[in-house]
Structures are given as C-alpha cells and as structure tokens.
Chain A
C-alpha cells in the first residue's frame, strides 16, 4: 500500500500543474520560463487556466490589497496538497514597493510559501529551481506550508 502511494506522489511530482494567475510583473519572467530557451515543460511544469486542476500556485511578485481576495480565493479552490511558490522580492516584504501602502508587505505570513525565489524579477532559471524544491516536497508527500498555518485561514475573502 505504501509503495502505491509513493508511486502517486512520484507521478504527481513529475507533472506539477501551475495555476495561471498573475498578480504582478514577475509573471513576465514566468512567461520567459515557458519560452523555448528555458522551457519548463521539460521538467513537467505546465500552466493550467483553472485552479481546480492545479498543484502549485505561483505568487508572481507584487500582491496589492485589491488582488489579495482573488488570490486567496483561487488558492482555496485548489485541491490538496496545494503548494505555493513565492517569487520576487515583493512576495516576501513588498520589495521595491515596501513604502507603498496599497501593497501587501507580509505575504509570507498571510499565505506561507513552500519555496521563495529572490530577485526583482528572478531569472527564469531561478524560478525553475524554486519549482524543483516543491517537486522534492511533492515526491516525499510533505504537506504544503499554507495548509499548516498562515493568516489566510482567519481572513474573509
């Protein structure tokens, strides 16, 4: 029985689908990662338009207050285990918008990420490396960080 479950984890980790959600400018480098030079589909990563079929959500940098409810709603629609990859300085502490009041500056507290990729914006190679960390988590069957805690559980969205 254990072996079969391991196999499912393995199978899932080789083909993580990523929900197509863009909240900030880092999605430009995400697009570059889908392009021919970096081509993340080599590793099985693919974008899907619906959260219902997605395994991973990428927080693409900046999250403004207005988009946060939509982001959390999209995340809540994903089936378990739903992993989160945060990319870009903004997704950590607001980055260059740290002094702007319309931008969320504690995204990691609200929706804890399983991996964080630094940069503004991070290079496509770095984004793929970040996804590899999540892949490793999937293979081991570890629960996602966001399911363990985070302010998002107390928030109304």
Chain B
C-alpha cells in the first residue's frame, strides 16, 4: 500500500491519503496527468477501472470525476479524483477506455447523463438513457425534469422514431444472401428487458451489439429527491432478486458519513439477511440457467426451495421481496427467536433437496458436454474487463468482497473463496451451486452466533437493532462495497451539510461489465449459444440499467 501511495504522490496531486483498509484516495490537480497516472497504475497491477462517477458542483462551476481502480489479486485500490470544467464545450477529458476496456460503458454513461466528452473513446455513443434524453444530460443539477415530462407524447414519438431508423437500416441490409440482423429480445422469453442486435450469417453470429436501457429508471437521480431513509425505496429496487445486500451497501455509506458505527447484533443480522438474499437470488439464477437450455424442471425445484427462504423474509419484515429490512443505523426490526427456527427449516429443506439437484442437474451429461465449450472466460479477461462475483470466481480469480474488505460481521465468519478453473458456462453454474452451499454454512454460523449472543445477554435484540442516524448529514463522501449475489456492488455517496437528501449517489452494478462481455463471448458462435451464454452470466436488467 505504501508503495502505491508513493507512486500516486509522485504525480501532481493536491491530496493523497489512505482510505479504509485497501484504498488510496488522491486528487489530481490537472487532468493532463490522468493518462500517465493510469498507465502507471495499470503497470502496477491495478488492471480494472471499475467505474467513473461524475459529481456536479454548479456553485464551483466544476464537475468532479471519480475514477475507481481495483487490483483484484492483491486488493490494492485507488480512488482518483480530478476536476473538469462544467461548461458543455469545455467538459472533456482523455478517455481511459483504450487502456482499460472495463470502463467503456461507464464512460458512455457519464457522457449520456452528464455530458462529459471522453476524447479518444472508440465509440462514444449514448447508452442507458432513452432516445428523448439524448443531448440533454439529465443527471446534471438544474435539469428541468418537469418541463421534459410535459411532452410525453413527443418523447414517445422520439423513441419510436429511433427504432424506425434502426429498422430502416436493417431492412436495407436484408436480401444479401443469408446475412441479416436479428433482434434477440426484449420480448424473447429468456432475455428479459434487454435487446441484443445480432448480426448473423445463417446460424453463425458475426457480431452482437447489446441495446440496453429498457428498465432505466434513473435511480441515481431518484434518490436525490428522497431523504436518507426514503432513498431505500429506490435502492432496494436496483434488483429485486437480491435486495438485502444492496441496502447493506447503501446503509454502510450513510453510516460512514454520519460517523455512527452499528451494533454487533445488527452486523450479524445483516450477515444473516444478506445471505438469505444471496440464496434467494442464486436459486433464481440456477433455475434461469437451465431454463435457457430449455429445461424447466430445475427452475421449478429451485423455486420450491426459494419459497422457504422467502418465508423467512416475510416473517421478519412482512414482505416477501421488497423487504426494506435494512436501513442506515442497523436493521429495521428486532429479532424474535422463532425466526431462527423458520430459517433452520428452510436450510433443512435445501439440504434435503441438494443431493437430487446434484444427481440430476450438476452431473447431467447433456449439460456437461454442452456448457463446457461455450462462453469461456479466461482470468486475463476477468482482470481486464472488470468482471466480478460468480463470473470472476468461476475463472479462478480470487475475489470476494466479503473476504477482501470484510463488512458487517463477515470478519467473524469462517469462509473461503468458492472457485472453479476453466471459466466456462458450466463452471459458473457449479460455482453458483457451491455458493448456495457456502451460504447455508454462513447462515448456520450466524444462527449459532445470534443464539449464543442473545442467551449470554451480549446482544439485546430489542435495543440493538437500530442506532439513530441524524436526519441531516455533514459534508462528506463515502465509498461502500459489498459482495452482491451477482458480484461487487459499489456505491459512491456524496452528501452536503444541511441537506436532507443525498447530493449524489453513484451505483456501480456488476451486470454492466458482464453484459459488455457478450460482444466478445458470442462473436463467432451460433445462434443457439446466445441463451446459454446469456443465462450463465447471471445478468439482471434491473442493476444493468438502474
């Protein structure tokens, strides 16, 4: 870490200091140094630039760009800030995409929403935002949403015109042999709200270009209109498959700025709720994987087991999916010991079904032969493309935020990295299964710890659930990371004194980089491989678009 700090301090920086366990936070005085600093960081092993987050300060007439560099192998990360002018003409900075392919779509996102022009980006097109927002940069402070909203019919027509233009181009291309462009989604049963423009020659894929933004809700902007607790409504809806871990991530950022640590009891509750969220999501993912291969049976079995875990969430919070159970300051409700019994029943249900899962599906010869040859991701691809979570671990890369930068009470939990080697679709499926097993183990440890703590009087479930967080936070900013079910979820929260709402929240969600990989993974394959590769990447459109 010291070496990294010295390296960064060698550039024109106005500040350079360690931040949390594994970050160096620095601010460049001028953007001229950005490329040389990024090159030096890359040479030092920080190969993933996971996102770029602009923050708009109209009072100072500047946009602050936050770059987050990560080294997945040695856990040294760098958070580099740099100011650029706010005027649209001068709002530009050299692009880092040629150096770090992982930041490609993130730069496009910053361009679409804030109007930052990245000089040297290979294809700086709009992304996520719908056609009617193009050129309007909606996340800038002072953008008049109401005025935009007033023209709904015209906005819709604008979106339709965009589709029509594209159809016209596709139509013009038709009729030259078997060369054509297919739309895979958004109405395909396996796709969800996402569209792949697949250019094919007969069955063979020439190129794949994802079209995303079908569930773009502008969540990052939405939270700016809510108070710190009310923002949870938007946060937990990033993706409903695993909503507890997203809330943990946000709550941690708020607590850090408020300077209020939570109680050990609440930390352990977060581990428990987080793991339930992970199991619920993984079971959906497991079912979805086989579903895309045309086998519905596993999904039915997985859904059956999943219901038992949803029962636990329902017992705890009253809702099966939108639990809103974790808020800044701890967990929302106290714990009744009967809940642990319900949870134990759910774990027993999984363990009773587990051997059948393995016998019929994991060792399934069709799956073995079909899924080992497609969608292979090498460790180099993981490091260069900012992949994370299950996808990274299936390629043998040791990354797991629960171990790398332990949060909540994960430092008390005994666990290891769940790895596979080849990085094929089958490996990702196996890692998903192994992680469900691992979560069961973590849940058992959490149950034992909660029981012991409550019996010994160390935890007071009524009093320790929440710590009061003030309504207004001081000036500050925080970066919070959690291991979400699909991979690393990172939030960058900026607050301003006497504001009751977040000033800026950037959400870095794992599915963005995973969707970006589809272009590489599917080129040269056949049409029938699309659902399998897509299913194995465990993509959720909710966190892709936000």
For B314, the closest partner residue in chain A by CB is A123
CB pair A101 B156 closer than 8 Å: no
CB pair B322 A120 closer than 8 Å: yes
B341 interfacial by beta-carbon distance below 8 Å: no
Contacts of A24 in B (CB 8 A): 193, 215
Chain A binding surface, main DSSP class = loop
Contacts of B299 in A (CB 8 A): 31, 35
Q: How far is the CB of B302 from chain A (nearest CB, A)?
A: 9
CB pair B148 A67 closer than 8 Å: no
Across the A-B interface, give the 8 residue pairs with the lowest CB-CB distance, nearest first: A35-B303, A25-B240, A66-B130, A36-B304, A20-B189, A67-B214, A49-B189, A37-B307
The stretch of B216-224, B393-401, B466-474 in contact with A is: B216-224
How many Å lie between the Cα of A21 and that of B16 in the bound state? 50
| B contact set with A: CB distance below 8 Å | 129-133, 138, 145, 148-149, 153, 155-157, 159-160, 163, 186-189, 192-193, 213-219, 221-222, 225, 233-234, 237, 239-241, 284, 299-301, 303-304, 306-307, 310, 320-322, 542
- Give the interface size bracket for A toward B: 35 or more
One of A74, A103, A121 near B217 (C-beta < 8 A): A103
CB pair B215 A62 closer than 8 Å: yes
| A contact set with B: CB distance below 8 Å | 20-25, 27-29, 31-32, 34-37, 47, 49, 51, 62, 64-70, 74, 96-97, 99-103, 120-121, 123, 155-157
The 5 sampled A-B contact pairs (Cβ below 8 Å) are A64-B216, A97-B222, A101-B149, A121-B240, A156-B157
Q: How far is the CB of B308 from chain A (nearest CB, A)?
A: 9
How many Å lie between the Cα of A96 and that of B234 in the bound state? 7
CB pair A101 B215 closer than 8 Å: no
How many Å lie between the Cα of A36 and that of B219 in the bound state? 33
Q: How far is the CB of A122 from chain B (nearest CB, A)?
A: 10
CB pair A23 B214 closer than 8 Å: yes
How many Å lie between the Cα of A120 and that of B218 in the bound state? 18
Contacts of B306 in A (CB 8 A): 32, 35
Known contacts A36-B300, A67-B215, A97-B217: does B193 contact A28 (CB below 8 Å)? no
CB pair A23 B307 closer than 8 Å: no
Contacts of A100 in B (CB 8 A): 217-219, 221-222
Contacts of A69 in B (CB 8 A): 156, 159-160, 163
